[in-house]
Amino acid sequence: MCGIVGYIGFRQAKETILTGLKRLEYRGYDSAGIGIVTDEDVEVYKEKGKIEALERLIKNVEIKGTVGIGHTRWATHGVPNQINAHPHQSYSGRYTIVHNGIIENYKELIETYIPNIKRESETDTEVIAHLVDHFSQKGLSTEEAFREVIGKLEGSFAIVLIDGQDTSRLYAAKNKSPLLAGLGQGENMVASDATAMIHVTNTFKELKDGEYVVLDHENLIIKTLDGDVIDRDVYTVDWDTSSVETGAYEHFMLKEIDEQPAVIRNIITQYQDEQGQLNIGRHLQGLAVPSRVYIVACGTSYHAGLVGKRLLEQIAHIPTEVHIASEFLYDQPLIEGDPLFIFISQSGETADSRGVLDQIKKQGYRTLTVTNVQGSTLYREADYKLLTHAGPEIAVASTKAYTAQIAVVALLSIYLAEQKGIAGSIDMFQELRTISTAMDALKDMKDKAKHIVEEYLTDQRSCFFIGRLLDYAVCLEGALKLKEISYIQAEGYAGGELKHGPIALIEDGTPVFVLITDQRIAKNIRSNAEEVVSRGAKTCVIAAEGLHEEGDQWVLPRVHPLLTPLVSVIPLQLIAYYAALERGCDVDKPRNLAKSVTVE
């Protein structure tokens, strides 16, 4: 949701910022704009719709300058139109601003400080620019005025400001919205995430709530709201522009599906020492084995949590509950013993999960975040953190982050089992190596996925995914993947539950995908499949080798029974992808969805 970029350096700001904004497109937006410092002024261009619309607007305009800001807006206050698009300028025209998030007290601030200001747009953002102008006219320097205003804002924000009277620096600040600083040689940047800056630098500094940053060509200085300079370490990422471009692929989603075997291998490398031993413990120093685990997450990450529960319970013998963050927030279960809260989040910025983290920390419980994004809010604010090392995930539909989350929780389970002295635990690295080979084989079976789509999903409005135990968890994920990108109504159901209601929906030709990877229930789920076939359904059976029967549509390589989701999800991801493609949907940017859901 909303993307933000600020650049100061020697490159042409227009191109540098537009490249950054395109990398943030995955977050979801409905208008875009840039503000560039030129010889004349700070020139602002904005347009409703996609960045291409903005590019068309400025195609024949010469905009030369090496300082600027840019924004993609996902409308909150005010409809998505050209006027409400960012940047916004203050009443005197001196200050130009872009902002992500929601200022909750903007009406009070108007009444208290600038009651007579006429707003151009319906946005809360414009008010921030007017306020900085107001305080600077009262005699404060721009930095002081910026600090003053930041201190008064309530809500979530990431802001970048240009002072038209001194364009040698940019000012930026954040609260509960993502913002990261990127450091170059003779150039500096801020943006919503690293992908938007990777064409300029791979060296970053985290920014935290309650701080602001002043950047010029040479320096990037982080300060507290009292003006004290903060010393912050830099970190580098080991990926480059190819990680954030589709390359030979038509879509990020397919590229990311294909990256999964490499991600699993990378996770092995990241969490194995030179002797081949698990060294995940170095990230968990001081973590006593919990008596209970509560996993909190949303969407696909919640589905990974369902698998995580089985891993923690079966491998580490720790009772584990899995909760949807937005439910937990208002209906906290009774908490027992000395628990650990595990937050699973690709982006590390999901507002619902962040809300629970805040709530739980106030109650003094221990927290661990499993995330793909170093420096994200959930990463920073948890006591312990484990990175999933999946590389940037750009497609809105999560694929490689899901499998990476499961793999990391599997390693965590082994670590906790070792801490508890549970003997005979699994050689997880070996099992994960087997998984990566199995994934390699599956990703090369794209023709099979295409044929299944042609046979089952060309013109269907709804379908079912059924499975039991871990297969049920994967069915939920398969159904989510299909519905979010192809808009086919898809239900993931526990096979045994069908007869308790949903079987009423089965009619002639209803596609039912049946997952079978667990010997214990192989017969039962086949009976459930029979039940729907006899009511007209058309089943597509995806079964593990050894459990398959003649006529099954897809046979999966055999892997460790606790890790089957890592392979069984791949056909479902591919089927969702080709179904969306077949229906002409925008695969990487499905309607109404944002990659990083930073509002509750």
Which CB atom, from 31 or from 326, has the smaller least distance to ligand F6R?
A: 326
Which CB atom, from 289 or from 324, has the smaller least distance to ligand F6R?
A: 324
CA distances from 185 to 11, 53, 202, 219 (A): 11, 32, 11, 9
Dihedral of alpha carbons 161, 100, 9, 33, sign = negative
Which CB atom, from 36 or from 311, has the smaller least distance to ligand F6R?
A: 311
303 burial via Cβ count (<10 Å: 0-12, 13-18, 19+): buried
Q: Is 597 in the site for ligand F6R (CB under 6 A)?
A: yes
**How many residues lie near ligand F6R (CB under 6 A)?**
14
Q: How far is the CB of 486 from ligand F6R (least distance, A)?
A: 12
Contact positions with ligand F6R (CB under 6 A) in 487-516: none
Residue from 84, 175, 301, 388 touching ligand F6R (CB under 6 A): that is: 301
In contact, 426 and 560? CB cutoff 8 Å: yes
The answer for residues whose C-beta is within 8 angstroms of residue 185's C-beta and 6 or more apart is: none
Each residue 385-414 as x (binds ligand F6R by CB under 6 A) or -, in order, gives: ------------xx----------------
Q: Is 346 in the site for ligand F6R (CB under 6 A)?
A: yes
DSSP 3-state of 47: strand
Residue from 19, 202, 243, 350 touching ligand F6R (CB under 6 A): that is: 350
Buried residues in 43-77 as b, exposed as e (16+ CB within 10 A): bbbbbbbbbeebbeebeeeebebbbbbbbbbbbbe
Q: Which residues are catalytic?
A: 2, 595
Which CB atom, from 124 or from 484, has the smaller least distance to ligand F6R?
A: 484
Tell me how far apart the alpha carbons of residues 278 and 577 are, in angstroms, rounded to a whole number: 35
Cis peptide before 87 (omega within 30 of 0): yes
* Residue 259: count of CB within 10 angstroms of its CB: 22
Q: Is 345 in the site for ligand F6R (CB under 6 A)?
A: yes
Residue from 300, 367, 388, 598 touching ligand F6R (CB under 6 A): that is: 300
Which CB atom, from 177 or from 346, has the smaller least distance to ligand F6R?
A: 346
Q: How far is the CB of 37 from ligand F6R (least distance, A)?
A: 34
List the structure tokens of 122. Answer: 């319906």
Which CB atom, from 213 or from 476, has the smaller least distance to ligand F6R?
A: 476
Q: Which residues pair with 462 in a beta bridge?
A: 489
Q: Is 484 in the site for ligand F6R (CB under 6 A)?
A: yes
Each residue 247-286 as x (binds ligand F6R by CB under 6 A) or -, in order, gives: ----------------------------------------
* Residue 441: count of CB within 10 angstroms of its CB: 13
* Residue 504: count of CB within 10 angstroms of its CB: 9
Q: Is 353 in the site for ligand F6R (CB under 6 A)?
A: yes
Residue nearest ligand F6R, CB atom distance: 299
Q: Which stretch binds ligand F6R (CB under 6 A): 179-187, 341-349, 359-367, 492-500?
A: 341-349
Q: How far is the CB of 343 from ligand F6R (least distance, A)?
A: 8
Q: How far is the CB of 191 from ligand F6R (least distance, A)?
A: 17
Which CB atom, from 90 or from 346, has the smaller least distance to ligand F6R?
A: 346
DSSP string, 151-189: HH--EEEEEEEEETTEEEEEEEEEEBS--EEEE-SS-EE
Q: How far is the CB of 349 from ligand F6R (least distance, A)?
A: 7
Number of helices (H), then strands (E), belonging to the chain: the values are 17, 25
Residue type present at position 585: C
Which stretches of the chain bind ligand F6R, using CB under 6 A? 298-301, 345-347, 350, 353, 397-398, 480, 484, 597
